[in-house]
């Protein structure tokens, strides 16, 4: 296909695809899908080889949020039966993080529900960052605490944070349909604050909330303009008890097209498959590794993922390798470009922490920390593309997290 040849050439040169080219990826047929994956896979391998970065979520504070993000099981008025607890102590968070690091993760994502941190919250999280860094040399830490006020990003950076996650989630045009208690502009402002403070910016999206193809292309182009180091792609987990519980819009094929489009538009950034990986990609997860170079190990914030051991086996079986602590995630030019790619800058070659995900409170966006698991608002539109099979509701695959942080049970890692 001329389209795919053009997109591969552009991806290898870091050239921005046009909107029409990005839309055309989303409109490809099932017959063309393996060609799309192969083409985007060439771009992925150019910048990230066959490495897969593992990230580990620690939900520092769960539920009880005053915001109304429709996709989120922790929102105001959520009737989802999730774990609810207030701030973990530094030693509790450090213990949870250690399980993920022992399982092969190189980044820990510290996420807390809420509109944004108070200065006292920043103190707490700073103590937690120091506790994790003291006990684990070389670990990358990403914070995901919601909207930041002036000076808070700098304080997190001083405490040792490498990255900050805050997702855009959806297009500017439809943002008001999914959340009314803050704005798209608020989110952009926080990503910029993180970037300015020298934190590696992580910002992504949630797909499956009823958005149109145009909305998806708009938000991914907006992300390219913001230039985060990592882009978590969340697939809405339609939690019972949230406004988006009935939004089962995604098929595995649709998820692969979305990931391919993100890879073409953001060729040299860490593309992370975040919340909803198991629920929506299902047995197609290994194919998605040809597009994304990063995943979460184990569980998400409020839902359970597949066993950490299954994540590792999938990576090995698909012919990929877990990125080691000494390897730099991002390509050399992104680290050399400076400022934001700080977390890889200490490494001898190559890349930066490539950081992240999907929802820090990206989740605070569907997948916070790149992984705020999604839920969502007033669906605006399209669902499956032309000619696509309707998606199947797989409520059997949605399990509320009952282990790890905030419980007496061992974490999944």
The residues that touch ligand SF4, with contacts defined as CB under 6 A, are 65, 67, 69, 72, 74-75, 113, 115, 146, 361, 364-365, 372
Q: Among this protein's residues, is 380 annotated catalytic?
A: no
Report the residue number, 157 or 364, with the smaller CB distance to ligand SF4: 364
Region at 49 (left for phi over 0; alpha for psi -120 to 50; beta for the rest): left
Q: Among this protein's residues, is 69 annotated catalytic?
A: yes
Active-site pick, 44, 51, 263, 272: 272
Report the residue number, 124 or 133, with the smaller CB distance to ligand SF4: 124
In the complex, minimum distance from the CB of residue 366 to ligand SF4, in angstroms, rounded to a whole number:
7
> Phi/psi of residue 303, each to 5°?
-125, 160
380 assigned to a ligand binding site? no
Q: Among this protein's residues, is 272 annotated catalytic?
A: yes
Token couple for 380: 């605006």
In the complex, minimum distance from the CB of residue 80 to ligand SF4, in angstroms, rounded to a whole number:
11
188 CB-near residues (< 8 Å, 6+ apart): 168, 222, 226
Cα separation, 1 vs 167, whole angstroms: 33
Cα separation, 73 vs 366, whole angstroms: 9
Task: Give the residue nearest to ligand SF4 (CB).
Answer: 364
In the complex, minimum distance from the CB of residue 373 to ligand SF4, in angstroms, rounded to a whole number:
9
304 CB-near residues (< 8 Å, 6+ apart): 399, 400, 401, 402, 403, 412
Cα separation, 43 vs 407, whole angstroms: 41
Active-site pick, 75, 109, 144, 254: 109
- β-pairing, 163-165 vs 140-144, is parallel
- β-pairing, 358-359 vs 369-370, is antiparallel
Active-site pick, 44, 51, 69, 157: 69
Report the residue number, 74 or 200, with the smaller CB distance to ligand SF4: 74
Report the residue number, 66 or 390, with the smaller CB distance to ligand SF4: 66
Cα 311 → chain centroid? 16
69 assigned to a ligand binding site? yes
Picking from 243, 218, 226, the residue whose alpha carbon sits closest to that of residue 374 is 243
Active-site pick, 44, 72, 157, 254: 72
In the complex, minimum distance from the CB of residue 365 to ligand SF4, in angstroms, rounded to a whole number:
6
> What 8-state DSSP symbol labels residue 277?
I
In the complex, minimum distance from the CB of residue 166 to ligand SF4, in angstroms, rounded to a whole number:
9
Report the residue number, 26 or 122, with the smaller CB distance to ligand SF4: 122
In the complex, minimum distance from the CB of residue 198 to ligand SF4, in angstroms, rounded to a whole number:
24
Active-site pick, 44, 187, 202, 401: 202
Q: Among this protein's residues, is 202 annotated catalytic?
A: yes
Burial status of residue 392 (CB atoms within 10 A of its CB: 0-12, 13-18, 19 or more): exposed
Report the residue number, 334 or 364, with the smaller CB distance to ligand SF4: 364
Picking from 350, 323, 353, the residue whose alpha carbon sits closest to that of residue 163 is 353
Q: Among this protein's residues, is 361 annotated catalytic?
A: no
Binding residues for [2Fe-2S] cluster, by number, are: 109, 142, 202, 272
Which of the residues are catalytic? 65, 69, 72, 109, 142, 202, 272
Binding residues, by number, are: 65, 69, 72, 109, 142, 202, 272
Binding residues for [4Fe-4S] cluster, by number, are: 65, 69, 72
């Amino acid at each position: 296909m001329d389209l795919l040849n053009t997109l591969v050439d552009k991806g290898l040169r870091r050239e921005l695809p046009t909107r029409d080219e990005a839309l055309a990826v989303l409109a490809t047929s099932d017959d063309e899908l393996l060609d799309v994956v192969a083409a985007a896979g060439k771009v992925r391998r150019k910048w990230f080889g066959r490495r897969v970065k593992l990230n580990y979520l620690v939900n520092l504070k769960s539920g009880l949020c005053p915001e109304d993000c429709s996709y989120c099981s922790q929102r105001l008025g959520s009737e989802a039966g999730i774990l609810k607890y207030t701030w973990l102590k530094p030693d509790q968070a450090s213990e949870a993080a250690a399980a993920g690091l022992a399982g092969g993760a190189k980044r820990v994502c510290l996420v807390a529900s809420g509109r944004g941190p108070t200065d006292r919250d920043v103190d707490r999280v700073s103590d937690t960052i120091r506790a994790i860094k003291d006990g684990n040399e070389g670990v990358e830490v990403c914070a995901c605490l919601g909207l930041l006020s002036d000076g808070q990003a700098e304080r997190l950076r001083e405490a040792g944070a490498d990255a900050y996650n805050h997702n855009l989630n959806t297009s500017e045009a439809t943002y008001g349909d999914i959340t009314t208690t803050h704005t798209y502009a608020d989110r952009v402002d926080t990503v910029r604050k993180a970037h300015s403070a020298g934190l590696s910016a992580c910002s992504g999206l949630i797909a499956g909330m009823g958005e149109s193809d145009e909305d998806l292309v708009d938000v991914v182009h907006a992300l390219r303009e913001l230039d985060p180091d990592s882009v978590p792609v969340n697939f809405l987990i339609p939690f019972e008890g949230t406004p988006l519980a009935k939004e089962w819009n995604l098929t595995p094929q649709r998820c692969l097209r979305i990931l391919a489009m993100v890879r073409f538009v953001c060729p040299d950034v860490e593309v992370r498959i975040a919340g909803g990986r198991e629920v929506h990609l299902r047995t197609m997860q290994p194919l998605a590794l040809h597009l994304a170079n990063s995943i979460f190990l184990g569980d998400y914030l409020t839902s359970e993922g597949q066993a950490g051991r299954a994540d590792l086996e999938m990576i090995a079986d698909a012919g990929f390798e877990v990125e080691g602590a000494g390897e730099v995630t991002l390509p050399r030019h992104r680290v050399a470009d400076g400022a934001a790619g700080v977390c890889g800058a200490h490494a001898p070659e190559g890349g930066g922490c490539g950081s992240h995900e999907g929802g820090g409170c990206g989740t605070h966006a569907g997948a916070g920390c790149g992984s705020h698991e999604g839920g969502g608002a007033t669906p605006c539109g399209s669902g499956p593309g032309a000619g696509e099979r309707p998606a199947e509701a797989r409520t059997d695959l949605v399990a509320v997290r009952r282990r790890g942080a905030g419980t007496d049970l061992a974490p999944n890692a």
